[in-house]
Structure 1
Amino acid sequence: MLTPTEVVTPSTVEDVAQLMREAVQARKPMTFRAGGTSLCGQAVSDSTLVDTRRNFRDLEVLDDGMRVRVGPGVTLARVNAHLARYGRRLGPDPTSALACTIGGILANNSSGMLAGLKQSAYHTLDSMVFVLPSGRVIDTADPSADITLRLEETELCGGLMMLRKRLRDNSDAVAEIRRLFAMKNTMGYGINALIDFHRPVDIVSHLLIGSEGTLGFIAEATLRTVPLARHSAAALALFPDLTSAAAAAPLLVAEGFEAVELMDVASLRVVRRQPGAPAMLRNRDLTTEAALLIELHETDEEALQRRLVAATGILATLDVIDSVAMTSDAKQRNALVELRRGLYALVAGTRASGTTTLLEDIAVPVDRFEEMCVALDELFRKHGYGVLNVPLFGHARDGNIHFLLSERFDEPEGLLRFRKFTRDLVRQVLRRGGVLKAEHGTGRAMAPFVRDQYGDDLFQVMRAIKFLFDPRGVLNPGVIISNDPDEHLLNLKLMPRIEQEVDNCIECGFCEGGCPSRDLTLTPRQRIVLRREIAARRDDHDLLKQIAESYEYEAVETCAVDGMCAVACPLGIDTGTLVRRQRTEDVSSLEQVAWTQAARTWGLVTRMGSAALTLAKSAAPLADRATDLGRRRFGDDTVPSYDRRLPRGAGIRRKPRRRDRRDRGVAAYFPSCLQTMFGTSGEGVFAAFRELCLRAEVRVTMLDAEDLCCGAPWRAKGVQEGYELMRRKVHAQIVMPDQLPIVMDASSCTQSLAELARHWKIPVLDVVEFVADELLPHLELTAPIESIALHPTCSSTKIGINEDLMDIARFLSDDVTVPASWSCCGFAGDRGLLHPELTASATAEMAREINEREYAAYASVNRTCEIGMSRATGHGYRHIVELLEEATRPR
């Protein structure tokens, strides 16, 4: 496995230009890394690794969404969130949208389920800013860019024009290029640019697409967008076997379906376990079956309905043994589509512990699709992988097939088997006129076979291109062009067994885009990789010592344990569970005693905390000095940092004024201790909820929660004894024979209480959910709010109440905005007090977007999140229920 000697994080295009000049001068190899979601080996290095994710996130929507200017560090999901407001999206649509960045999409010429050829990055490029190995920066949108390039890069331009003439004078070469690039094709360089364009600046920019960082750096790109089809339908057709499903694919392609996605029996056996899997998969003993997911997309509802009628007739003619009928119902359709979109990570997650997964990616002409699928099954059997152990799936519309091998590369027989299989695979694909890489990039995985793919003449053209751009060979050596016939067998990543909570991780990176600590310390993927490195190098004491020096802060203390990594991960891996266990192992005996005692007298602790906040507000300089001294003495992860932007204490008592056992109402209100601790600018959600219940004439009884908590502080800190003590106290108070549903007024507390009470069979509702269902229909809006900036939380996302939150917000205002850059605020209980830098980092991008305009109100659903967002934006965030109470007051 390749391990970089250094990781550099440039801030500007000028920084990159300087790095390139220095690399060329010193002949020091360098590799650019963006999201790192491709598994073909192009984003790793044993020299300088240049991380482009953190500081190249500029995004500007142009021409009412017809174009978009983006930096290479922006994720596809973020770009599409901005474009959705204009009814547009980017053409490339890889399923890793949450994690893959624009830099990776351009570098690999990624496509996806819907992109095909015409909507790829190559075909939708408008202009770009690129940096050549010489350090030259060119903006192709500049009218003088072509002249500048010709004058300042004479050898490069002259060489490319000679290669262009050489190809165009060879009709056989032109025909072969046209044939190969009439399919999805990311094998080698995009030499079709030499015959598609005549200006050097256009040839260079299009050669850079798909070049995997071996020719230069794309610092910015302006891309033409495509219509966002807001009306769509999907069906799932089950066939008796792979052959019949593959045979049906060309018929459906000819009918113009926007997506025709194949899943073989090994894939279906995985997706059947998903919550959204249809009954026909869950209830069937799958042995040989295969399925096609079929989609229609339209911008017009009437057009979709007309196509639905025709599609139903077409499907009736196929050899289908069962199906989910074509549906435009959003919930049913999305459930089917998500089965396919998350398939790669799902099937990879089934690998045996200790094995490495390799995703292969080929394409053949559509009329050879069935034949190739059959040949692949024969190859799996021949080399001992077995059909049921190698999931096969793909974009049948494009003749594009993916399959996933799991192999033990730490064993010689495993490496030998893979070597023989790969040679066989190359012969079988080329025999059918296919390409060895369709959309994942050549990388190191297929670099030894570029000559086999193109023949000597075209391969020499590619070698010449590499030399013209990078004569000293410093950019990503070994990728695409390699002199080593065993390049694909070298430096393969091993996956040693690690902690059970995260061992299934395949390092796809889906978890990274929304991680609060991603720009501060480590992401979930990096935490897991670090555990694997520690496991693999147990005897390297010097390395382990270096890791230990910063491990606690980087990997443990600054993890928000918010669970958003589990939401993004197709396998549901929550890295926070590992971090919580590590905190349990690390917690000192003094902390154990202190937090266990706090669980015994929690009411007193919360009142003291509230009083301390009020006192600190009136004596801020003294509070600053006291907490600074405490943090130096006892550590940053023990003593909170006082921030003058923190509110006063609330001073609220969480106990009922009187108990009425005759009519307990429809629910029991469990006010969170956050309401005791942190004051608000208004009456607070505590008072607002009671007033709304009276106004809607819905009776809710109040629990005596004075000394209770949802258990989150102890669980997050790993203080198990205190957590169990609080669990028993809560059980004694809320578990009754006629127990009502419990309503809590902070989304994180709702989530934690539901976890604490998961075996008690008591419904736990968030106040937002209860208000939307029980109170909102009985309220009258008397003072509409002009505009609202809304911050859903990580916990509101996990417990599924965001739609209820949006219902309330839309009731209050016709102008509701959730920022496209939305993510967890990183306050995470007390993390925002212990490590305010975590919250500052997590909210920086959101704050910039929110402050692009003024809103009449700013709302969330969790008090600490409201504090974190207020601190980040400079605007006072309040609970949505507080706003609702004020907006429905009688005139």
Structure 2
Amino acid sequence: MDLIDDLRAALGGDRVHARAIDRHARARDASHYLLVPQVAAVAEDAGAVARALGVASRHGTPVTFRSGGTSLSGQASGSGLLLDTRRGFRRVEVLDAGARVRVQPGATVRAVNARLAPFGRALGPDPASEAACTIGGVIANNSSGMAAGVEHNSYRTLESLTVVLASGTVVDTAAPGARDRLRSAEPGLVAALERLRDRVRADPASVAEIRERFAMKNTMGYSLDAFCDFTDPLDLLVHLLVGSEGTLGFVAEAVFRTVSVQPCAATGLLVLDSVERAAAALPALVGTGAAALELMDATSLRVARRDPGAPAAVRGFDIDQHAAILLEYRADDESSLADRVAAAGVVLDALPAVVPVELTRVPAERAALWSVRKGLYAAVAGARPPGTTALLEDVVVPVERLADTCRELAALLSAHGYVDPVIFGHAKDGNLHFMVTEEIGDATDPAALDRLAAFTEDLVTLVLRQGGNLKAEHGTGRAMAPFVERQYSAGLVAVLREVKRAFDPAGILNPGVVLTDDPRAHLADLKPVDHVDAEVDRCVECGYCEPVCPSRDLTLTPRQRIVVRRAQARAAAEGDEALAAELAEQFRYDGVDTCAADGMCATACPVRIDTGALVKRLRAEDRGGVGRRAWRTAAAHWDTVTAAAGTGLDAAARVPAPAVQAPNRAARSLLGDDVVPLWSPDLPGGGRGRSGTRGGTGVPGDVAGVFLPSCQGAMFAPGEPGGDGVQAATAALCEAAGVGLVVPAGLDGLCCGTPWSSKGYADGHAVMAERVLAAVDAARAAARERTGADVPVVVDASSCSEGVAAIMAAARAAGDPRAADVVDALSFVVRQVLPRLTVDDGRRVASVTLHPTCSSVKAGTDGDLHTLARAVARTVHVPVDWACCGFAGDRGMLHPELTAAATAAEAAEVVQLAAAEHASSNRACEIAMTRATGRTYRHLLEVAAQVVGPRARR
């Protein structure tokens, strides 16, 4: 039996992925290395990992564990079996009122902290990539972060773990009798650990060297401090696995001791005229008790300013060679915080700041400052010159030597010809990150490779001369594996190698990572530079987008879509037409058909890449003439289309599913899947139309807006007894408050344009956009005659609000005077209607579970969603596992498997919450969540109309 067949027998056929797209999509992580695995597989529990390791051992195949893929030093890529442990290991269990937490390696740091937040607790490690990095990587790299230092890193806060060893032995170190079972199952490993412990402790020089190295952040080699800190072999096993980068075993579960979150904080930016001056100020700043001191050089600040949403603090000065330090002070109460800030002010006032330092306590302002720092690596890397690769290094020196190190590092970079390098990092700990760009990855450029090799040699010499460590928190990986022998004495290097042999005698776990015999290993397998699509070429493959992608557990993530496009282009350039064709064919479903194109990836991307824009273009390029004509015709006769769709759904609801699906499938085969969606028996009926709103005239009262109800509400009306949907609810609320709305003529023929833009039908979208602009302009003109003022367009579905806003933005950019402001109906009600109404507390619902939509998140209207929910319900829930539902207009009908995958985690949580009401702000999302949970979701405005009395004016 060959490797793949053996894996399928051990794990199940649907867990083994050997297609070209599966292997190439997983080949790249956030580092500058590229190794294409022979096969990828998904393991969902410790037993599956053990079985996979057994197969790999029999075939002599190396194994690399992959979870978040945010590692920067090459430890998450391998050429053998890549074992995906992100999809199946996401359980989080809060223990002891948050004092401890049991976590699995696929959960992100942000997801864990969200569950700890109600208890005022958090994980100790706080890496900047917390939105995307997973617990598996946090443990494997001994992550620390911005405030953790060496006191609250993974090593110091880990209590116990469940590990799968290379032999397949599974050890729960917290289970009763675990020590005896370990000694029985792994006598050779236990004996080796005891022997190495005694050898290290018997040599005072080794102990002194270890203590010196680990007094600072240190992720070079293995956690040798375990031999000084612990005696029992079980404790040694636990702490040696921390920072082992998947080379000693797999951590299937861990229990962490958490840290208290100080609720009061003040954050600001100290700007000085150079990196050296900023570094020189650090000892004094550390003395002020700052929780975080984050260094950013001039290049970092320039890149930060490119973001239109960058906070004012990074804009109020001219950048020359300036540097900034992001400061944060924390305390348990406001009084203590005030005392701390006042004491720090004495030091800050004495520093030659370029602009006055303002420490803000406003949460939104603090979050904006932190977003600059947390997204800095990817933002700077995304701004790199075309054709270059970003190389990020991570070193640490004693804080008192940081200024000298910065000065020497700048000289070193200049001497090697690196232009505009970027320096930033966790200055409080003497931890520097710096990035250079290089034209590497192709064998045709040996000069660039030689320059990188020479620079790395000089860097190693510099850092070690300053008494530092070559890796502080990003792990040794492949990037620094050849230099482990330079950092440690020969005796400790021998200990490191014996540790590896004791845990992994066959050498199958992530070979080449942490330890290597190849002095040029850091220069091998470098990632080529492939620019293929203008929409996404700035991507640095950091992986921040992956947790928010609806298709992440079904097919591909945004990063993987980009990676596959690059792999396809590389294959074509190298003449491998067979591979290029195979990737193109597999990409059709995995990359295009199952992309929600919801734009959520842009909200998580530090450089705001919307991979959905690429997918929309690819869809447009792939459209046939029949489809283009059909959708252009649909735009011109949308009233007929929506009426027919609604009537058809009403009829379908009364007819057995097979009778409807047969002609429906025939139509799909003629016009294409994206023209005629597959009818589903759980879709609600429709056919009400929209022109009937108050006789086609709108809502009586003082006119405050042009009402443009969504056509999805007409096609997919809820159909509950007595319920007329969000259109009627909006009208009822406005009428109760005396707020008037006018309705455009020909309403049933109008649409937000999203069906055309998402499918790539530009011609049809242009037709519909013109119809919307003309109709809305006429309605606004009529309103202007009555009120003497311009009024906004009010849309009652968040995705449609986004679509109409896009039409208006394009018109405004083209200088079209018909462009109007657009406001979502929910926000309109909160701002214009709710203040005029009295909510009877006796009619408020007991609880409501909300599903924010991707459109409301992007538009920033979630605050209004919560405001209205708190007004109409005593308790408001938003699931921690909330995510875009993936319905995406018609994706939920064309590919219901996308919605099922996207909603699985949230649905499980919703069922546990057992709220009285379930609400959202978009009809398609309500259908998706109703389908996923078995609970009836309505628009929150419908719930509000039920709670607020019809004559409740103040």
Q: 2:699, 2:740 within 8 Å by CA — same for their partners in 1? A: no
Output one character per residue of 1:768-805: Cα deviation in whole Å (capped at 9) or x when no partner: 11111111112222211111110000000011100000
What corresponds to 1:541 in structure 2?
A: 577
C-alpha separation in 1, matches of 2:436 and 2:663: 58
Is the deviation greater in 657-666 or in 86-95? Answer: 657-666
Partner AA of 1:714 in structure 2:
W
What corresponds to 2:832 in structure 1?
A: 774
Matches for 1:88-99 after TM superposition, within 5 Å: 88-99=121-132
Identity of aligned residues (%): 48
Output one character per residue of 1:629-671: Cα deviation in whole Å (capped at 9) or x when no partner: 5556766545422222111114133365254999871111111
Q: 1:81 to 1:662 in 2, by over 3 A?
A: closer
Partner AA of 2:421 in structure 1:
V
C-alpha separation in 2, matches of 1:275 and 1:318: 30
Matches for 1:596-615 after TM superposition, within 5 Å: 596-615=632-651
Is the counterpart of residue 881 in structure 1 residue 941 in structure 2? Answer: yes
Is the counterpart of residue 751 in structure 1 residue 751 in structure 2? Answer: no
Output one character per residue of 1:509-550: Cα deviation in whole Å (capped at 9) or x when no partner: 000001000010100000000011111110111212222332
Is the counterpart of residue 733 in structure 1 residue 775 in structure 2? Answer: yes
Cα drift, residue 608 of structure 1: 0.6
Q: 1:280, 1:322 within 8 Å by CA — same for their partners in 2? A: no
Matches for 1:149-168 after TM superposition, within 5 Å: 149-168=182-201
Q: Helix, strand or coil: the match of 1:544?
A: helix
Query: Which residue of 529, 537, 543 corresponds with 1:495?
Result: 529
Matches for 1:579-594 after TM superposition, within 5 Å: 579-594=615-630
What corresponds to 1:479 in structure 2?
A: 513
What corresponds to 2:16 in structure 1?
A: none
Partner AA of 2:496 in structure 1:
M
What corresponds to 1:808 in structure 2?
A: 868
C-alpha separation in 1, matches of 2:99 and 2:940: 35
What corresponds to 1:640 in structure 2?
A: 677
C-alpha separation in 2, matches of 1:637 and 1:668: 31
Query: TM (normalized to structure 1)?
Result: 0.98
What corresponds to 1:229 in structure 2?
A: 262
Q: 1:636, 1:835 within 8 Å by CA — same for their partners in 2? A: no
C-alpha separation in 2, matches of 1:44 and 1:650: 53
Is the counterpart of residue 257 in structure 1 residue 294 in structure 2? Answer: no
What corresponds to 2:712 in structure 1?
A: 674
C-alpha separation in 1, matches of 2:293 and 2:405: 16
What corresponds to 1:829 in structure 2?
A: 889
Cα drift, residue 625 of structure 1: 3.6
Is the deviation greater in 213-222 or in 192-201? Answer: 192-201
Q: 2:699, 2:741 within 8 Å by CA — same for their partners in 1? A: no
What corresponds to 1:532 in structure 2?
A: 566
What corresponds to 1:328 in structure 2?
A: 361
Query: TM (normalized to structure 2)?
Result: 0.91
What corresponds to 1:58 in structure 2?
A: 91
Partner AA of 1:119 in structure 2:
H
Query: Which residue of 80, 94, 97 corresponds with 1:47?
Result: 80
Query: Which residue of 71, 95, 113 corresponds with 1:38?
Result: 71
C-alpha separation in 1, matches of 2:827 and 2:262: 31
Query: Which residue of 496, 512, 516 corresponds with 2:546?
Result: 512
What corresponds to 1:73 in structure 2?
A: 106
Partner AA of 1:745 in structure 2:
D
What corresponds to 2:19 in structure 1?
A: none
What corresponds to 1:441 in structure 2?
A: 475
C-alpha separation in 2, matches of 1:587 and 1:541: 23
Q: 2:620, 2:762 within 8 Å by CA — same for their partners in 1? A: yes
Q: Helix, strand or coil: the match of 1:325?
A: coil
What corresponds to 2:439 in structure 1?
A: 408
Q: Which runs of 5+ in 1 are unaligned?
A: none
Cα drift, residue 59 of structure 1: 1.3
What corresponds to 1:713 in structure 2?
A: 755
Q: Helix, strand or coil: the match of 1:323?
A: coil
Q: 1:29, 1:476 within 8 Å by CA — same for their partners in 2? A: yes
Q: 1:355, 1:408 within 8 Å by CA — same for their partners in 2? A: yes
Output one character per residue of 1:665-711: Cα deviation in whole Å (capped at 9) or x when no partner: 11111111112111112221111111111111122222232211111
Output one character per residue of 1:693-740: Cα deviation in whole Å (capped at 9) or x when no partner: 111112222223221111100001111110111111111111255442
Is the deviation greater in 19-28 or in 790-799? Answer: 19-28
Is the counterpart of residue 247 in structure 1 residue 280 in structure 2? Answer: yes
Q: Helix, strand or coil: the match of 2:555?
A: coil
Q: 2:626, 2:671 within 8 Å by CA — same for their partners in 1? A: no
Q: 2:700, 2:735 within 8 Å by CA — same for their partners in 1? A: no
Partner AA of 2:798 in structure 1:
S
Query: Which residue of 392, 397, 417 corresponds with 2:428?
Result: 397
C-alpha separation in 1, matches of 2:241 and 2:672: 49
C-alpha separation in 1, matches of 2:413 and 2:689: 67
Q: 2:226, 2:236 within 8 Å by CA — same for their partners in 1? A: yes
Is the counterpart of residue 692 in structure 1 residue 733 in structure 2? Answer: yes
C-alpha separation in 2, matches of 1:654 and 1:308: 60
C-alpha separation in 2, matches of 1:873 and 1:48: 36
C-alpha separation in 2, matches of 1:186 and 1:221: 20
Q: Helix, strand or coil: the match of 1:642?
A: coil
Is the counterpart of residue 181 in structure 1 residue 219 in structure 2? Answer: no
Cα drift, residue 269 of structure 1: 1.1
C-alpha separation in 1, matches of 2:649 and 2:356: 61
Partner AA of 1:673 in structure 2:
C
Partner AA of 2:691 in structure 1:
R
C-alpha separation in 2, matches of 1:309 and 1:698: 50
Q: 2:698, 2:740 within 8 Å by CA — same for their partners in 1? A: no
What corresponds to 1:789 in structure 2?
A: 849
Q: Helix, strand or coil: the match of 2:488?
A: helix
C-alpha separation in 2, matches of 1:724 and 1:634: 21
C-alpha separation in 1, matches of 2:712 and 2:698: 25
Output one character per residue of 1:218-243: Cα deviation in whole Å (capped at 9) or x when no partner: 00111111112222111111111111
Is the deviation greater in 128-137 or in 881-890? Answer: 881-890
Q: Helix, strand or coil: the match of 1:158?
A: helix
Q: 2:311, 2:365 within 8 Å by CA — same for their partners in 1? A: no
Q: 2:485, 2:493 within 8 Å by CA — same for their partners in 1? A: yes
Cα drift, residue 312 of structure 1: 2.0
C-alpha separation in 2, matches of 1:414 and 1:769: 55
What corresponds to 1:764 in structure 2?
A: 822
Q: 1:654, 1:676 within 8 Å by CA — same for their partners in 2? A: no
Q: 1:231, 1:300 within 8 Å by CA — same for their partners in 2? A: yes
Is the counterpart of residue 460 in structure 1 residue 494 in structure 2? Answer: yes
Output one character per residue of 1:431-460: Cα deviation in whole Å (capped at 9) or x when no partner: 011001111110000000001011211111
Output one character per residue of 1:571-617: Cα deviation in whole Å (capped at 9) or x when no partner: 00000110000000001110001000000000111011100110000
What corresponds to 2:29 in structure 1?
A: none
Q: 1:80 to 1:808 in 2, by over 3 A?
A: same
Output one character per residue of 1:23-55: Cα deviation in whole Å (capped at 9) or x when no partner: 223221111111110121111111111111111
Output one character per residue of 1:189-225: Cα deviation in whole Å (capped at 9) or x when no partner: 0011111111111111111111000000000111111
Query: Which residue of 134, 156, 161 corresponds with 1:128?
Result: 161
Partner AA of 2:552 in structure 1:
R
Q: 2:702, 2:738 within 8 Å by CA — same for their partners in 1? A: no
RMSD of Structure 2 on Structure 1 (CA): 1.6
Q: 2:143, 2:153 within 8 Å by CA — same for their partners in 1? A: yes
C-alpha separation in 1, matches of 2:173 and 2:535: 48
Query: Which residue of 3, 16, 35 corresponds with 1:2?
Result: 35
Cα drift, residue 332 of structure 1: 2.1
Is the deviation greater in 178-187 or in 409-418? Answer: 409-418
C-alpha separation in 2, matches of 1:848 and 1:756: 37
Q: 1:637, 1:835 within 8 Å by CA — same for their partners in 2? A: no
Q: 1:144 to 1:590 in 2, by over 3 A?
A: same
